[in-house]
């Protein structure tokens, strides 16, 4: 419907919404002779201001002030029940009491919690309004009053106007939640919109704010969605109707965590480009699926500073493979999820672009360009997405079509340049130093749009701190325990014997494979023990096992007779299935430096005895060991021993080689033999470069 009004005259109306089973009454009274006013009936209900919903009920203003293009959701509140309207009004009051001039998704969540009068809390989760309000305050207490504001959501607000407690506009994210609730209600076949519809829409298209509040309160999003759907099914049962097939499908999708079901109005065309080609790192951080980032506070702060710039606000992470470039982007996502970033980034999402998935299946010319432009258009339109492109050098030349190796046409990098140049698109890129210099830096126009952030290899002390922070994750995965000596050995041995890789990646791989090997060895030992016991007296033991199994079957049969329902049977079957698995992990497996050294020996080819040997003993006896193999070259042996000892006590630059030596002498005096002896005695292997 379309309402004509003047911008200078406040417009208020009263809406009365009945129960879904009764017809809906809309007591709007339009005066055909006066287009500037709308009167309402005196029914006792909630007072609403139509001017607040100018993006839902299209309002024409008599002046020529430019306004943001409204969302096409006219008359969306006509099907709202009294409870839904009450939740909306409570959300406006919550936003006003918290000092906000817009209703954001966290305020809408507070309104839904305040409206729910269930003694067990919001949707039976035990969440009360006081705790939820305190959680919102604690999350945004360090931010300024605009910390929860969507980018570009301030539209149509007049300067100097006083906003009453029931005249607070809605942010773009909140409007999307309302649209999702309407679409969900329509798809499931309801003729009304209840607070449960709004709750499902909030859980589906939340921008992350409400999710942080629910996570702080310890709520399970899937359980909340399940409870909301169950309540709605109860409303249908009261009317004597059954849920339709689309209803069941939507329920399954909503409970599976598919956040793209109601995200965009074009549902018939499938997933959006962002959902199809990107991974939401912020959502993964909220769910706790990202490993903690330790010791990179300086680099993360530098990235935040670049992102907050007005122009050229696109950082590119430069560093060797394995130093932790991707971890910087994940650390930023964790900071956003925990509300530890400036207000500018609180409502941002870090989306990791999968370049291989973007290019896969693009057979014809123009198909890849269409995908990229759709992705860019959706990213720019959302206004809250920061793209993370790993291995960004692969974009240069990707998608060109033509004969030979030169190709023709636009590549993905050229499609990104206009949006990056205008500041419409924010991007975090990463690549290695070599690829940056050989490929990325050659495109001057693209390189100047990015600000380099150098990611150096961490020191051994920092690598130990990183491994200590990740130890719990790997212990849980491998069902083992890493000793502190194992962590130190992983860093030291990887730094010394695996020179072609970088910390902390190679040290993390060491403890990961050591835990895997220890778990497999423990399983083999236990299986051998069981096999050995049975092999000693197979008849007696097998007879005893059969007796125990028969007794167990009798006990379980008696228990099932006295149990009520099939749920107890399912629980007992689950216990039967889980019991042999849990018995294998009664005692944690200890992983020490010996297991780490064994893996390092496999990787480097150096004997494990040489790796685990005391370095001080090797240094003290190096002269004697060399003299046993090379006779009559005491002066050369002494010079080599001094150089090696000097390097190991820290009297040299660690970034330079131990020494550069030239062995001079006639043929046959032992130059090559001395080199082989040094490699065998100290390094454990004999690398040789043959120029012939």
- pLDDT at residue 613, as a whole number: 58
Q: ∠ CA 329-333-339 to the nearest 5 degrees?
A: 140
Decide if 546 contacts 632 (C-beta within 8 A). Answer: no
Distance CA 329, CA 428 (A): 8
Query: Of 317, 291, 324, whose CA–CA distance to 506 is shortest?
Result: 324
Cα 269 to chain centroid distance, Å, stands at 26
pTM confidence score: 0.52
Give the H/E segment covering residue 88.
helix 82-97
Just give the CATH number of 14-26+41-268: 1.10.1780.10
Contact by Cβ (8 Å): 80, 193: yes
Mean pLDDT (the chain) is: 71
> What is the rounded CA–CA span in Å between residue 47 and residue 635?
100
Strand partners of residue 40? 28
The sign of the dihedral angle between the CA atoms of 646, 651, 657, 659 is negative
Backbone angles phi, psi at 688, to 5 degrees: -140, 135
> 331: which DSSP letter?
H
Residues of the chain with CATH 1.10.8.60: 460-591
DSSP character string of 212-235: HHHHHTT--HHHHHHHHHHHHHHH
Q: Give the domain 273-400+409-454 fold.
A: Rossmann fold (3.40.50)
CA dist 71 and 55 (Å) reads 5
Name which CATH class applies to 460-591. Answer: mainly alpha
In this predicted model, which residue has the larger pLDDT, 643 or 473? 473
Portion of the chain with pLDDT greater than 90, in percent: 6
Kindly report which listed range (107-116, 331-340, 606-615) carries the lowest average pLDDT score.
606-615
* pLDDT mean over 559-570: 53
From CA 441, how far away is CA 427, in angstroms rounded? 17
How many Å apart are CA 473 and CA 63, to the nearest integer? 61
The predicted model gives 586-602 an average pLDDT of: 84
**Cα dihedral across residues 52, 56, 60, 63: positive or negative:** positive
- In this structure, of 248-257, 351-360, 584-593, 616-625, the range with the lowest mean pLDDT score is 248-257
- CA distances (Å), 426 to each of 310, 375, 419, 576, in order? 11, 13, 9, 53
Specify the length of the chain in residues: 692
Q: How far apart are CA 347 and CA 244, in angstroms?
A: 36
**181, 165 Cβ separation under 8 angstroms:** no
Q: How confident is the model at residue 467 (pLDDT cuts 50, 70, 90)?
A: very high
Contact 293, 428 (CB under 8 A): no
Q: Which among 54, 361, 7 is positioned nearest to 161, based on CA atoms?
A: 7
Q: What does the pLDDT average to over 275-302?
A: 87
Task: Return the axis-axis angle of helices 195-205 and 172-188, rounded to nearest 10°.
Answer: 120
The pair of three-digit structure tokens given for residue 213, joined into one six-digit string: 């509040």
For tokens 């749009």, what's the residue?
A: 449
Q: Are 14 and 45 in contact (CB under 8 A)?
A: yes
Distant-in-sequence, close-in-space partners of 42: CB < 8 Å, separation ≥ 6: 14
Query: In this structure, are residues 464 and 487 in contact, taking their beta carbons and an 8 Å threshold?
Result: yes
Mean pLDDT computed over 141-159: 43
Sheet holding 315-318: strands in order across? Answer: 278-280, 349-353, 385-390, 426-431, 315-318, 451-454
For 544, half-sphere exposure in the C-beta direction (CA atoms, 13 angstrom radius) is 7
Structure token digits, residue 365: 């010319």
User: What is the CA angle 123-125-128, rounded to 5?
Assistant: 90
* H-run or E-run covering 315: strand 315-318
Closest CA to 157 of 96, 231, 67: 67
Contacts of residues 240-243 at CB distance under 8 Å and 24 or more positions apart, as own/partner, are 241/189, 243/188, 243/189
Distance of alpha carbon 360 from alpha carbon 213, whole angstroms = 38
Q: Which residues of 215-253 are buried (b: 16+ CB within 10 A; e: fewer)?
A: bbbebebeebbbbbbebbbebbeeeeeebeeebeebbee
Residue 296 has pLDDT above 70, yes or no: yes
**Where along the chain do the CATH 1.10.1780.10 domains lie?**
14-26+41-268
- d(C-alpha 155, C-alpha 182), whole Å: 23
Q: Which pLDDT belongs to residue 398? A: 64
Pairing relationship of beta strands 28-30 and 38-40 according to DSSP bridges: antiparallel
Of 96-110, 334-348, 447-461, 573-587, give the range with the top mean pLDDT. Answer: 447-461
H helix runs in 411-483, sequence order:
412-422, 433-435, 444-447, 460-478
pLDDT of residue 576: 38
Q: Which H or E run contains 590?
A: strand 589-591
Q: Is the pLDDT of residue 10 over 50?
A: no
Cα 356 to Cα 652: distance, rounded to the nearest angstrom = 45
Over residues 187-230, the pLDDT tens digits come to: 777 778 888 888 888 888 766 778 888 888 888 888 888 888 88
Q: Is 452 helix (H, G, I), strand (E, B) or coil?
A: strand
CATH 3.40.50.300 spans which residues of the chain?
273-400+409-454
């Amino acid at each position: 419907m379309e309402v004509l009004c003047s911008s200078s005259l406040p417009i208020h109306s009263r809406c009365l919404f009945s129960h879904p089973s009764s017809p809906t009454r809309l007591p709007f009274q339009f005066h055909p002779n006066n287009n500037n006013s709308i009167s309402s009936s005196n029914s006792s209900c909630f007072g609403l201001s139509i001017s607040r919903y100018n993006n839902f009920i299209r309002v024409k203003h008599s002046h020529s002030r430019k306004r943001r293009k409204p969302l096409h959701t006219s008359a969306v509140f006509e099907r709202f029940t009294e409870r839904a309207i009450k939740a909306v009004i409570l959300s406006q009051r919550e936003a006003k009491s918290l000092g906000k001039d817009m209703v954001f998704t966290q305020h809408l969540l507070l309104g839904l919690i305040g409206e729910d009068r269930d003694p067990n809390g919001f949707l039976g989760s035990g969440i009360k309004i006081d705790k939820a309000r305190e959680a919102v305050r604690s999350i945004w207490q360090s931010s300024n009053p605009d910390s929860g504001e969507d980018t570009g959501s301030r539209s149509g607000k007049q300067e100097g106007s006083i906003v009453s407690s029931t005249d607070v506009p809605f942010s773009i994210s909140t409007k999307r939640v309302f649209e999702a609730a309407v679409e969900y209600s329509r798809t499931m076949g309801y003729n009304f919109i209840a607070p449960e519809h709004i709750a499902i829409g909030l859980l589906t298209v939340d921008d992350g704010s409400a999710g942080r509040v629910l996570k702080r309160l310890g709520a399970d999003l899937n359980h909340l969605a399940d409870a909301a759907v169950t309540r709605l099914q109860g409303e249908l049962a009261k009317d004597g109707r059954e849920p339709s097939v689309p209803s069941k499908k939507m329920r399954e999708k909503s409970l599976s965590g598919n956040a793209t079901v109601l995200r965009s109005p074009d549902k018939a065309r499938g997933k959006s480009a962002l959902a199809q080609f990107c991974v939401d790192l912020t959502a993964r951080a909220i769910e706790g699926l990202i490993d903690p980032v330790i010791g990179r506070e300086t680099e993360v702060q530098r990235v935040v500073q670049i992102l907050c710039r007005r122009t050229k606000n696109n950082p590119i992470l430069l560093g060797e493979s394995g130093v932790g470039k991707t971890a910087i982007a994940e650390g930023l996502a964790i900071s956003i999820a925990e509300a530890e970033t400036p207000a500018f980034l609180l409502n941002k999402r870090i989306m990791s672009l999968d370049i291989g998935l973007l290019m896969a299946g693009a057979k014809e010319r123009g198909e890849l360009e269409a995908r990229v432009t759709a992705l860019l258009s959706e990213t720019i339109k959302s206004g809250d997405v920061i793209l993370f492109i790993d291995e960004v050098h692969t974009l240069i030349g990707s998608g060109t079509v033509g004969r030979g190796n030169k190709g023709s046409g636009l590549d993905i990098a050229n499609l990104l340049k206009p949006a990056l140049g205008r500041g419409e698109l924010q991007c975090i890129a990463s690549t290695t130093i070599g690829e940056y210099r050989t490929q990325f830096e050659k495109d001057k126009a693209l390189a100047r749009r990015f600000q380099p952030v150098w990611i150096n290899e961490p020191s051994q002390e920092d690598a130990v701190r990183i491994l200590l922070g990740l130890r719990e994750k790997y212990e849980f995965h491998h069902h083992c325990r890493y000793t502190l000596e194992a962590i130190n050995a992983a860093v030291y041995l990887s730094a010394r014997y695996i020179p072609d890789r970088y910390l902390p990646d190679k040290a993390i791989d060491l403890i990961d494979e050591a835990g895997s090997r220890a778990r497999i060895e423990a399983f083999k030992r236990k299986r051998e023990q069981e096999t050995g016991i049975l092999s000693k007296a197979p008849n007696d033991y097998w007879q005893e096992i059969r007796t125990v199994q028969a007794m167990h079957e009798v006990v379980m049969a008696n228990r099932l007779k006295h149990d009520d329902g099939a749920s107890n049977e399912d629980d007992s079957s689950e216990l039967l299935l889980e019991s042999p698995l849990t018995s294998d992990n009664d005692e944690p497996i200890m992983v020490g430096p010996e297991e780490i050294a064994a893996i390092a020996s496999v990787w480097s080819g150096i004997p494990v005895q040489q790796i685990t040997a005391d370095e001080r003993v090797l240094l003290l006896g190096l002269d004697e060991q060399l003299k046993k193999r090379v006779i009559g070259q005491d002066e050369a042996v002494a010079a080599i021993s001094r150089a090696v000892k000097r390097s190991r006590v820290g009297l040299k630059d660690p970034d330079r080689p131990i020494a550069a030596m030239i062995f001079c002498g006639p043929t046959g005096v032992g130059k090559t033999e001395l080199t082989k002896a040094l490699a065998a005695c100290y390094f454990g292997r004999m690398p040789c470069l043959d120029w012939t």
